[in-house]
Amino acid sequence: MKRKTRFSRWFPHPFFSVISAATWLLLNHSLATSDILLAIILAVVVPRMVAPFITRTPSIHWPSAIRLLFTLLIDIVISNFVVAKLVLGPKKNLKPKWFRIPLATQNEQVNALLAMIITTTPGTVSAGIDQKRGDILVHALNSTDTDAEIKEIKKRYEQLLIKIFSAQSGENT
């Protein structure tokens, strides 16, 4: 069994500690001594309270995560304009479709984040992940070529997610 260091006992999830403190300071719009002190207390207490519920912290490939973040931000901005044009235009231009995206892995983190990304991108909504069937059911506001949509989603998002979490094809976690 791995022995815990003093640092890991106080900060079981250091990234979560930083996020907790930064969130507190941002929400208060203040760098007053009292707010900084409370942010430090939260950075120590909150991660220690939730540590039993976080069984493991995945190893993340950060360059791929940053690339995915920027890809997603660009796609969301572009999709907003496309969806606005479609919604404000003639309804005959809309071609809504349901389709299934086959999953390359059974890694729950990869698949859950892929479903979330699909949902946050305007014009598409994931309706559910079917781990047994190995796919995600997706509704697109406008789709003329579902095969191309599936290939694009797998290329732009799923491949990066697999790399981020070092998931293998068919992996269960």
Is pLDDT of 70 > 70? yes
Tell me the two tokens of residue 20. Answer: 């907790």
For residue 167, the model assigns a pLDDT of 85
- Does the structure show a pLDDT above 80 at 139? yes
Closest CA to 156 of 88, 55, 79: 79
Per-residue pLDDT for 156 more than 70?
A: yes
CA count, 13 A, side-chain hemisphere, 99: 21
* Comparison of pLDDT for 37 and 1, the residue scoring more: 37
Per-residue pLDDT tens digits for 73-130: 999 999 999 999 999 999 888 999 999 999 999 888 899 999 999 999 888 888 889 8
Question: For position 15, what pLDDT does the model report?
Answer: 83
Question: Residue 1: pLDDT above 80?
Answer: no
Alpha-carbon span 164 to 160, nearest angstrom: 6
Predicted local confidence at residue 63, as pLDDT: 93
Q: Looking at the predicted structure, is the pLDDT value of residue 173 above 50?
A: no
Q: DSSP string spanning 10-32?
A: H-SSHHHHHHHHHHHHHHHT---
The 10 Å Cβ neighbour count of residue 121 is 21
Residue 73: φ, ψ to 5°: -60, -45
Is the model's pTM score more than 0.85?
Answer: no
Whole-number percent of the chain with pLDDT over 90: 60
User: What are the structural domain ranges in the chain?
Assistant: 6-53, 62-164
Of all residues in the chain, the percent with pLDDT exceeding 70 is 95
- pLDDT surpasses 60 at 65: yes
Average pLDDT, the chain: 89
Report residue 113 CA to chain centroid gap: 4
